[in-house]
Amino acid sequence: MKTREGNVIKRKTDKNNKGKKDSENEKLLKSEDEAKDKNTFKYGPMPRFPSQRIWSRGILILGIFVYLWYFSKSSKETVLAKQTDLYHRRGQVVHCSTEYLEDVKQYPGCVPQQCGRYVSDKIVTTHEAEILLQLAQRVMALGGSKGGATIMDLHSGALSFDDKFVNVYAQKKNKILTPTDLAVYKLVRTKIQNAIADTFGIDVASLHLTHPTFFSRLSNLKPVTPHDEYWHIHIDKHTYESFHYTSLLYLNDYGIDFKGGRFVFLNDASSPTKNVTVEPRKGRVSMFTSGSENPHFVEPVTEGLRFAITVSFTCDPSKAIQDPVHKV
């Protein structure tokens, strides 16, 4: 039975209990706060420095830039030779195509140990390249293609003229080659021949200069004949049957004398990011095996004139050509 007194006592006890609970709760919260504080400062207070927020955002943005730069770089082609750099010898080994190896196997001493592509700035001096550049400019002024590619072959005398070829040696009144031109030309092609033999580990006597070996002047003029379309992907061994080793000597500078006109090797035609480029530089020699292991093209020239010489070698003695002789 509940008495009034009993009710009062109960209320008091409830109040006491509530008070106790409240103070217990308070204690609990206090000790949690303390624990929180203790946790926060377990190893000492976090270091703080002025403008912390600005710094952390700056670092985040920098990180994003580094990430974007890395990925943009890895999705670009490989530059084998930059115009601004000098290389003793730089290159890549590639698997010889079977047709190529079968072909050179017929000629002992001419089989490469490994197929590949190489550049060197130490074979031909810039002075020698300059003499050949002046020769090309002088002789090409006697003709010139209406389209983007003027070709001059000093062995046969063929020179592009409008949309055909003429024989410069037939123009008796013109002094075409000086003894110095001839000596430099012969010296340069001999040095390149030795460099190819050394680079590919073959016998220099098994290599012969072959046709066509020619000077080229490339521009941004619209093509008039198929000869002017120099930017098509091709394999030298397919275009010129006698070729086993191709070399190119650049006579002027990419980015200075002309824009565009880089030389490009393709590793995978469906993936341009696997391309390997060579930026022409005065006196730079590029050497490669001429089979399907080395498909390539020249980028269109967008400004200026690009001068180069294609110097070709064969293992087949019946396809050998002689150096040009003195013509006056």
Ligand X SMILES: O=C(O)CCC(=O)C(=O)O
Per CB under 5 A, 293 contacts Fe ion: no
Residues 219-238 that bind Fe ion (CB under 5 A): 236
Per CB under 6 A, 80 contacts ligand X: no
Residue with tokens 């003027």: 150
Q: With respect to Fe ion, which residue has the nearer C-beta, 147 or 295?
A: 295
Q: With respect to ligand X, which residue has the nearer C-beta, 117 or 296?
A: 296
Pairing of strands 214-218, 306-314: antiparallel
Q: With respect to ligand X, which residue has the nearer C-beta, 165 or 263?
A: 263
Question: 149 touches which of ligand X, Fe ion, none (CB within 5 to 8 A by kind)?
Answer: none
Per CB under 6 A, 308 contacts ligand X: yes
Would the CA dihedral through 256, 258, 259, 265 be positive or negative? negative
- Give the CB-nearest residue to Fe ion: 236
Q: With respect to ligand X, which residue has the nearer C-beta, 119 or 308?
A: 308
Question: 248 touches which of ligand X, Fe ion, none (CB within 5 to 8 A by kind)?
Answer: ligand X
Strand boundaries in 179-319, DSSP class E: 208-209, 214-218, 245-250, 258-260, 263-265, 276-278, 285-289, 296-298, 301-304, 306-314
Closest distance of CB 215 from Fe ion, Å? 14
Q: Which residues of 206-215 are buried (b: 16+ CB within 10 A; e: fewer)?
A: bbbbbbbbbb
Q: With respect to ligand X, which residue has the nearer C-beta, 211 or 327?
A: 211
Q: At what angle do helices 126-140 and 179-200 cross, to 10 degrees?
A: 130
Question: 209 touches which of ligand X, Fe ion, none (CB within 5 to 8 A by kind)?
Answer: none
What is the C-alpha to C-alpha distance for residues 303 and 211, in angstroms, rounded to an integer? 29
Rounded alpha-carbon distances, angstroms, from residue 242 to 6, 141, 228, 291: 123, 30, 22, 11
Residues annotated as catalytic are: 306
The torsion angle over the Cα atoms of residues 255, 258, 259 and 262, rounded to 10 degrees, is -80
Residues 235-254 that bind Fe ion (CB under 5 A): 236
The answer to whether 258 touches 243, Cβ cutoff 8 Å, is no
Binding pattern to ligand X, positions 198-227, x when CB under 6 A? ------------------x-----------
- Positions touching Fe ion (CB under 5 A) are 236
- Positions touching ligand X (CB under 6 A) are 216, 236, 248, 263, 296, 298, 308, 310
